[in-house]
């Protein structure tokens, strides 16, 4: 098991280096971060612009600039934004907000996908299967921004009808809230409900269809019939042999989606006014602020590599034969 993990880890490091260099190259070619200085009145002295170019290594080649950036990034130093604020501090704050949203959404989506995916396969062509299929395809076809907007509107209407705040529809916390530990926890949960549903339901729809398809393939396999013919209980056959085998390809889908959600919460965070990674990226792109964009893309690349590595390790756990590959 350990040699397998070491091999996968070595491959992941190479993939991470290549992907971060490609990201750095594209961002470096996207624009000049000092271009806004020329529009200021009065314009700064040329000596100031040259000093900033040297400080940001803009007077060096892209490979050299990448080396300087990578050297600092592995130490947790992503430099400063155009306003002079520390990118690392802002990244830590924003990443915490986005991670909280993604984790809650993934847990909810995973539970729903496992339950409905397995039941739809076991009860193929039943009323439950048709209902699950209809709901899944409906959610898949709905645009994210529309679904999130509808949920926000429903939350506002429920609050108006109840005469009190049941759902918090803006922000991740109530500003200047003082209600103790449990009050603060309740406040965060009330803000988390609608964005979590928005992300989870669209993710669950894809996962449940994929798990249903893989479960149907497994249920029709010869070894499943053989286990039943030997008198093994159906529940044990379904969980021990069927679900465990179906989870191998399903793990890939979950890992890729989980990492993609780190960079895909832009719409949800914008609609619900969450100050997370997505909002930060939009603001940084609008100002051609290179360091925050690089930090965002670096974290996204790490998430993709790490979760694919976790998926590879889970393969070996679910099917020990993969360790020999």
Beta bridge partners of 80: 86
Residue 85 carries which DSSP code? -
How far apart, in whole angstroms, are the C-alpha atoms of residue 110 and residue 48?
53
- Of the listed ranges 25-29, 133-137, 272-276, 292-296, the one predicted with least confidence: 25-29
- Rounded to the nearest integer, the mean pLDDT of the chain is 82
| Model confidence pLDDT, tens digit, residues 294-322 | 888 888 888 888 887 887 777 777 766 66
Torsions phi, psi of 128, nearest 5? -65, -40
pLDDT at site 183: 65
Tell whether omega for the bond before 37 is within 30 degrees of 0, i.e. cis.
no
* pLDDT tens per residue across span 227-250: 778 777 877 888 777 888 888 888
pLDDT at 320: 67
Summarize pLDDT for 113-170 with one digit per residue, the tens: 999 999 999 888 899 999 999 999 999 898 888 898 899 999 888 888 887 778 888 8
The whole-number pLDDT of residue 108 equals 92
Using CB atoms within 10 Å of the CB of residue 89, give its burial: 0 to 12 exposed, 13 to 18 middle, 19+ buried.
exposed
pLDDT at 36: 67
Give me the pLDDT at residue 39, please. Answer: 67
Q: Which of 310, 286, 297 is nearest to 262 (CA)?
A: 297
What are the structural domains, with CATH classification, of the chain?
2-324 (1.10.3720.10)
Model-wide pTM > 0.85: no
Statement: residue 111 has pLDDT above 90: yes
- Judge if the upstream peptide bond of residue 128 is cis by omega within 30 degrees of 0: no
Contact, 281 vs 91, CB < 8 A? no
Q: Which two tokens stand for residue 227?
A: 């286990």
d(CA 107, CA 84): 37
| Nearest partner of 191 among 157, 162, 155, judged by Cα | 155
Check residue 181 and give its pLDDT.
Answer: 61
Percent of residues, the chain, with pLDDT higher than 90: 12
**Which pLDDT tens digit goes with each residue over 184-209?**
677 788 888 899 998 899 889 999 99
Beta-ladder partners of 86:
80
């Amino acid at each position: 098991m350990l040699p397998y993990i070491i091999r996968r880890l070595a491959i992941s490091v190479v993939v991470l280096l290549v992907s971060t260099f490609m990201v750095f190259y594209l961002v470096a070619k996207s624009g000049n971060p000092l271009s806004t200085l020329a529009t200021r009145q009065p314009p700064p002295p040329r000596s100031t612009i040259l000093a900033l170019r040297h400080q940001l290594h803009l007077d060096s080649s892209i490979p050299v600039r990448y080396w300087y950036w990578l050297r600092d990034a592995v130490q947790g130093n992503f430099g400063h934004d155009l306003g002079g604020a520390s990118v690392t501090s802002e990244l830590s704050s924003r990443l915490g907000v986005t991670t909280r949203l993604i984790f809650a959404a993934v847990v909810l989506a995973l539970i729903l996908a496992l339950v409905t995916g397995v039941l739809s396969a076991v009860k193929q062509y039943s009323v439950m299967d048709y209902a699950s299929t209809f709901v899944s395809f409906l959610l898949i076809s709905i645009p994210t921004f529309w679904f999130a907007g509808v949920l926000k509107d429903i939350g506002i209407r429920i609050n108006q009808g109840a005469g009190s705040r049941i759902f918090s529809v803006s922000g991740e916390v109530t500003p200047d809230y003082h209600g103790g530990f449990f009050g603060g926890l309740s406040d965060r949960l009330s803000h988390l409900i609608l964005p979590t549903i928005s992300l989870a339901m669209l993710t669950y729809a894809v996962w449940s269809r994929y798990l249903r398809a893989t479960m149907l393939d497994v249920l029709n396999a010869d070894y499943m019939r053989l286990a039943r013919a030997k008198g093994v209980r159906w529940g044990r056959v379904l969980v021990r042999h069927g679900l465990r085998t179906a989870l191998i390809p399903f793990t890939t889908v979950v890992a890729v989606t989980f990492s993609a959600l780190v960079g895909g919460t832009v719409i949800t965070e914008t609609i619900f006014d969450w100050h997370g990674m997505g909002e930060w990226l939009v603001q940084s792109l609008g100002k051609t602020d290179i360091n925050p964009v690089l930090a965002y893309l670096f974290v996204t690349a790490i998430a993709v590599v790490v979760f694919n590595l976790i998926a590879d390790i889970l393969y070996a756990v679910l099917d020990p034969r993969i360790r020999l590959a």
